[in-house]
Amino acid sequence: MKTIIVSDIFGLTFDLKIFAENFSSEYEILDPYNGKELEFKFESKAYDHFYRVCGLSRYTDLVNQKISACNEKIFIIGFSVGASAIWNTLGSSEALIIKKAVCFYGSRIRENSNLIPCCDTVLVFPKKEKHFSVPNLTRLMAKTPNVQCMITEFGHGFMNKRSDNFDNKGYLKYLDWSKNNLA
């Protein structure tokens, strides 16, 4: 079964490729920069660039296009804005091809919290977010059909070595968790 990995604002990186290669199934990486690897010295520059050249709405469209092109059941994993873009697609008819979705620290999910996903969906939240209460959102989202919420002990971005909040312990824990839950 194919796994589609939807990047965060940093796009396609060497480390994301390494993450993807840990899955035994066929995989594809979707990023907002059409496969072009970019280097950002600061996380704030990556945010600025993402919103200038893509934005969440366009990224959601790219996720919809990617899953529409699939002709077999898929797993899909997203990080940060990639997770939010996945979430925004999970109520569409195109998403019926998704067997399971895993969304790591998709903070913009809160803007579309009334969506009911068409597949099993795991929302992995950081211990806290700057713009909203993680416990309040997870309590709300836990009532949603097909949704399981998890709150980690790590910060937003803990799975990305380029993020200010990267945590190797968290990365290894949730890499292993991802492999076991998408097998």
Q: Are strands 74-79 and 2-6 parallel, antiparallel or unpaired?
A: parallel
Q: Are strands 2-6 and 27-30 parallel, antiparallel or unpaired?
A: parallel
Fold of the domain spanning 2-181: Rossmann fold (3.40.50)
- pLDDT tens for 36-56 read 999 998 999 999 999 999 999
- pLDDT tens for 96-117 read 999 999 999 999 999 999 999 9
The pLDDT value given to residue 23: 79
What are the structural domain ranges in the chain? 2-181
d(CA 140, CA 112): 12
Q: In what order do the strands lie in the sheet with 147-151?
A: 27-30, 2-6, 74-79, 98-104, 120-125, 147-151
d(CA 139, CA 31): 30
Is residue 25 scored above 90 in pLDDT?
A: no
| pTM, 2 dp | 0.95
